[in-house]
Amino acid sequence: MRKILLMAALLGFTWACSNNSSSSAGPATSSSSDESAKASTAAGSTNYDSVKGAGKFTHVELNEKLDDKMIASGKSIYELKCSACHKLTAEKLVGPGWLGVTDRHKPEWIMNFATNTDEMIDKDPKAQAMLQVCMVRMPNQHLSDEDARSILEYMRKNDHSK
């Protein structure tokens, strides 16, 4: 009798906790940018789009011809904020190598992951699988929408030329 009560109490407690953590982020799952906080309320977890990921990018227009200006900008952002963890080859450093990334993910997924990192790590199946491999949460590097698009173009250039 005592055990059952204790278990019931524990269950109740656990349920209450998990209920809380889905509405307000704890330290381990904090989404620190205002944008991602907004996105998190917009994207319902029931009909999650694992192809495009969670975030503001639902349709990204790509031109066949690569944009040199965006590539140059993407390269300098890469060197400042990304190269610490990502190589341009397929080799994993801290995070996965970038070679082939534009074949593995849709452009929307890439841009959402780059700008809405925390929420994606918390709910996207592919991002979570990668976290189990890398064991380091990708930092939110506060890329602007434009930054993310330039990075995408730089990734396309990297994939096309190899």
Partner 1 sequence: MYTQKFYLLAVTLIGLSLATPSCKPRNESTAITSDAAEKTYVAPGKYDEFYNFVSGGFNGQISVYGLPSGRLLKIVPVFSVFPENGYGYSEETKPMLNTSNGFVPWDDQHHLELSQKDGSPDGRWLFANANNTPRVARINLATFKTEEILELPNSAGNHSSPFCTENTEYIVAGTRFSVPIGDNTDLPISSYKKNFHGTVSFIKVDSGTGHLSLAFQILLPGINFDLSHAGKGPSHDWFFFSCYNTEQAHTLLEVNASQRDKDFIMAVNWKKAEEYVREHKGDLKKVSYVHNVLDEKTQTATSTKESQVLVLDPVQLHDFVYFIPCPKSPHGCDVDPTGEYIVGSGKLAALIPVFSFTKIQKAIGDKQFDGDYAGIPVIKYDAALYGEVQKPGLGPLHTEFDGKGNAYTSMFVSSEVVKWSIKDLKVLDRKPTFYSVGHLCIPGGDTKHPYGKYLIAYNKITKDRYLPTGPELAQSAQLYDISGDKMEMILDFPTVGEPHYAQALPADLISKNSVKFYKIEENNNPFVTKGEKAAKVVRDGNKVHVYITAIRSHFVPDNIEGVRLGDEVYFHVTNLEQDWDIPHGFAVKGAANAEILIMPGETCTLKWTPTEAGVFPIYCTDFCSALHQEMQGYIRVSKAGANTPLIFGTNLADSSVAKN
By C-beta, is 1 or 129 nearer to partner 1?
1
By C-beta, is 73 or 102 nearer to partner 1?
73
Minimum CB separation from partner 1 for residue 127, in Å?
A: 16
By C-beta, is 104 or 142 nearer to partner 1?
142
Minimum CB separation from partner 1 for residue 68, in Å?
A: 20
User: What is the DSSP annotation of 89-158?
Assistant: SS-BSSS---TTHHHHS-HHHHHHHHHSHHHHHHH-HHHHHHHHHH-SPPP-----HHHHHHHHHHHHHH
The type of residue at 24 is: S
The rounded distance, in Å, linking the Cα atoms of 58 and 91 is 29
Minimum CB separation from partner 1 for residue 117, in Å?
A: 8
Distance of CA 51 to the CA centre of its chain: 12
By C-beta, is 1 or 47 nearer to partner 1?
1
Binding site for partner 1 (CB under 8 A): 1-2, 24, 30, 32, 79-81, 83-85, 93-94, 135-137, 139-142
